Every structure is written in structure tokens, then in C-alpha cells.
Amino acid sequence: MKNLWQSFLLLLGAPSESEHAHQSQYLKVENEILRSKLPGRVHVTARERQRLLRFARPLGKAIASVVTIVSPRTFLRWLNAPTASAKPKATGPGRPKTEDELRELVLKMARENSWGYSRIHGELKKLGLDKISRTTVANILRQHGIDTAPERGKSTWAEFIKRHADTLFACDFFTKRVWTLTGLKTYYILFFIHIATRRVHFGGFTTNPDRAWMTQQAQETADYFGTLPLKPTHLIRDRDGKFVPEFDAVLQAHGVDVTRTAPQQPNQNAFAERFVLSAKTECLDHFVVFGEGHLRHLIAEYEDYYNHQRPHQSLDNRPLSGDPPPTYETISASKVQSTERLGGLIKNYHHRAA
């Protein structure tokens, strides 16, 4: 019954993934209808093909169930086509073609960065490669269907997350109903999660997250960020009205750029959303909480367990410390012990000291 109840809670806690799947399915059907209205084949330019491939590569072979602009077989052939360009054909008298190695260096820089032709030209000059002009760089990009600028500078949300992960935090609220001397009250719990390491830091919790409280939390968070070895530069948050302008202003004054997710896009804050699910199903949903002190104890215990002992699938089931597990040729169940937290709800297994 316990496993059934936990499965039910997991199902309730993941509406964003289901909603995202329904949205994707709708867009696919709508695209198929629009395609059926066109008179014939859709011709794409080399630049348009590169844009399609850029967003298709993360999907791999799964693109076959989505693509409609050409046949899935054709699109997979595009994906698997070699990226290296063929040697340019010889032409008549005139300015000599750019050497193959220099051409490939231009393409390498373009594919590995969101740079325009001016930025690439500057990088080449820094390397002492002065014989190639900005116009030549732009022509090379055009010949290979790569946007010269500024469209290539528009990165995807996933690219933004990956680029800033080491100095990027996300934050969010979740709630817990608490019995107090004056009755049942809803507590709002603010937390922050570091994207690169998944380490969690709880802010505060309150029954009234008003402007003054949020401003105070922002200042305390800025103070916490200042103690970290690598200072955070970006913070992701959703558009919850509790995040008042003063909250953003305090953090921005300390050099933290606050980025809001798009409307009705919870998946853009997926790391925070996933942590809420873990905290509730692994801890808070199992307790009737009596008073603020009890809530504070539960949060402190789970925070310490989550950051130091809990195995994480994203780290090959290692704790967030990243330390590799000890190696044993043989193991005996009698030599494995467990320490308990929260009345045995949370258990941590470890090898018994010799």
C-alpha cells in the first residue's frame, strides 16, 4: 500500500511532463495539417536546413516521429551527413580560394560557438591569421548554410543552462500545511538549487511571504552566495507573484542576473520542480507537522541528507560529494549498517568500520 501511495503521489507531482507531451503532440498534428494544405514539396535553403538540424540533433532518431517537412529517412540522412565540407572546385583567374585548413578553422569556430562573422574574424586575427578578411569569413559561413549574424546568437534554453551551469542557481517555493496553536496554516518554503552540483540551500519559510519578507530573503541569499567559492552569476525563477521587484533588485545589486522562465513553462525550471517532488515524496508527505519548530527540524534533516548522503541518478547514484564508492571484492550483509533519520523514514547504508 505504501508503494502504491508513493506511486500515486509521483503521478500527481509530474503534471508538467504530461502537459509537455500533450503540447508536443498537438504541435505535431497542427504541423501535419498545415503541411497538407501546401501544394507540393517544401524547399528549404541550406541555412534553413542547418537551423532544423541544430534543434533536431538532441532528439537523435526520435526525430523520425516528429518531422514532416521531408520524409524521416531524408531527415536522418541530413543528420548523419558528414560536417566536413568538400574541397572547393578550382575556378578561373581571380583571387585564390581560402586554404582548406583555414576554412575548416572558421567552420569549427562557428559550430562550437554562437559567434557571428565579425567575432570569428577577431579570433582569427588574435591567432595571427591576418590574411583572411571579414567578408571572406561571412562568405564561408553562407556557403555552408550557417547564419552569419545575429540569428546564430539566439541560443536555446538548454544551451543557456549548459553555458552557465557552474554559476547558475534556480529557486522556487513549495508549501506544507502545519498545525499551529491557532489552527491549520499553510507555510511557504523557499529554496535554491545549484544547477551544476544539484546542491540545495533552503532559504526561509513563512505563512506570509510579503514584500518585506521577500526582500529580507533576497539579502540573506546574496550573503549566502557571497560565501561560495564560485560566485553565482545567474538565478532562474518562475513568474510567481511572490517574487516582488525588490527581490530581483537586491540580487542584481550583488551581481546576480535574475532570469524569469517563460509563461506556463514549468519545464524551464525542471531542476527545482524535480527537487520539490523528491522533498515531498521522500519526507514531508509522510508527516503531519505540528508547529514551526517541527517543520524546521524536518527541513534541516532532509537538506543534510539530500546534500551529503542521498544517491543521485544524475551522478551515477553517488552522493553530491561526488566521492567514488569504496571497492570490495566480496561483501557481507552483516558488514553493512544503516543510520536512520526522522524515525527510520530515511536510512543511509554504509560499511561498518573495521
Which of 74-78, 144-148, 193-197, 330-334 shows the highest mean pLDDT? 193-197
* CA–CA distances in Å: residue 341 to residues 65, 290, 300, 323, 344: 46, 18, 11, 22, 5
Cα–Cα nearest to 233, from 303, 327, 312, 167: 167
Domain boundaries, the chain: 13-80, 100-154, 164-313
The 10s digit of each residue's pLDDT in 337-346 is: 778 888 888 8
CA-CA-CA-CA dihedral for 161, 165, 171, 174, to nearest 10: 80
Beta-bridged to residue 312, according to DSSP, are: 318
> Which of 274, 296, 285 lies closest to 202 in space, CA to CA?
296
Candidates 96, 44, 89; CA nearest to 67 is 44
pTM tops 0.85:
no
C-alpha 288, offset from chain centre? 33
Given a cut of 90, whether residue 301 has pLDDT beyond it is yes
Decide: residue 219, CB within 10 A, 0-12 exposed, 13-18 middle, 19+ buried. middle
Q: Of 3.40.50.300, 3.30.420.10, 3.40.605.10, 3.30.70.2190, which CATH number belongs to 164-313?
A: 3.30.420.10
- pLDDT for 215 equals 97
Q: How far apart are CA 225 and CA 219, in angstroms?
A: 10
Helices (H) and strands (E) in the chain, counts: 12, 8
Average pLDDT over residues 277-291: 94
pLDDT over 70, % of the chain = 80
